Amino acid sequence: MTGQRALMMGARVLSVISRPYYMPVVGFLALFTFTYLSLLPLFYKLLVLSMVWIFTIALPRLCVFVWRKLNGWVPMQLRLRERRAVPYVMFMLSYTACLHLMFRLHLPHYMCGILVAALLVQAVCIVVNIWWKISMHCAGAGAIIGALLAYSVLFVFNPVGWLCVLVLFSGAVGTARMLLRQHSLAQVVTGTLVGTACGLAGILLT
């Protein structure tokens, strides 16, 4: 019983730290840490990260919180498939505002591609969610895999080492979601494939 409790606790922790709205911030942190963008001034990097955090985490989460309170729902009730559309739209509007601001500030397109990829993931998940529940957690993890592959093409490096790490992470996220009975295997696999395709396309085509 103790081992089972520890396993479930680990699944809950992993689900929290892999929430899909963290992925844009994670993407920018990776760019500023592992590429030549690490040479940029610290103030500039903090400014960009703060902007991304505000528009992809703080602002949309605040809007969803207010909307939930107005409807008198507890957080668990937002997990119902038919109630996920409005939060998706709120996140997409906030992400779009962030992307517009990035273009106005003339940030490089390969940086803006992170937001484009996130928007693609959300748009596809909104459409699929009309008929079938898809794992946004796995879509977010898959988007990081797709982004890694895209940046390996743009910056010409061998991604195999990091790819193995991210595939293992994505598998752990999918397993956690199934252990918590939030998604089926098909929903987890579909989310990962959608995220990978959107992450790859969003960055390469921006």
For 14-29, what is each residue's pLDDT tens digit? Answer: 888 888 889 999 999 9
pLDDT average, residue stretch 72-92: 75
- Any domain includes 48: yes
* Mean pLDDT, all residues of the chain: 89
- Any domain includes 20: no
The answer to which of 45-59, 62-76, 132-146, 157-171 has the lowest mean pLDDT is 62-76
Ranges of beta strands (E only) in 79-197 are: none
What is the rounded distance in angstroms from the CA atom of residue 128 to the CA atom of residue 81? 10
Total count of domains within the chain: 1
pLDDT above 70 for 77 = no
pLDDT above 90 for 116 = yes
Alpha carbon distance, N-terminus to C-terminus of the chain: 50
Residue range(s) defining the domain that contains residue 126: 43-70+78-204
pLDDT above 60 for 183 = yes
- Any domain includes 103: yes
- Any domain includes 10: no
- Any domain includes 5: no
What is the rounded distance in angstroms from the CA atom of residue 136 to the CA atom of residue 151? 22
- Any domain includes 163: yes
Share of the chain above pLDDT 90, in %: 55
- Any domain includes 31: no
pLDDT, residue 81, reads: 63
- Any domain includes 197: yes
pLDDT average, residue stretch 28-52: 91
pLDDT average, residue stretch 175-200: 92
Three-state DSSP class for residue 133: coil
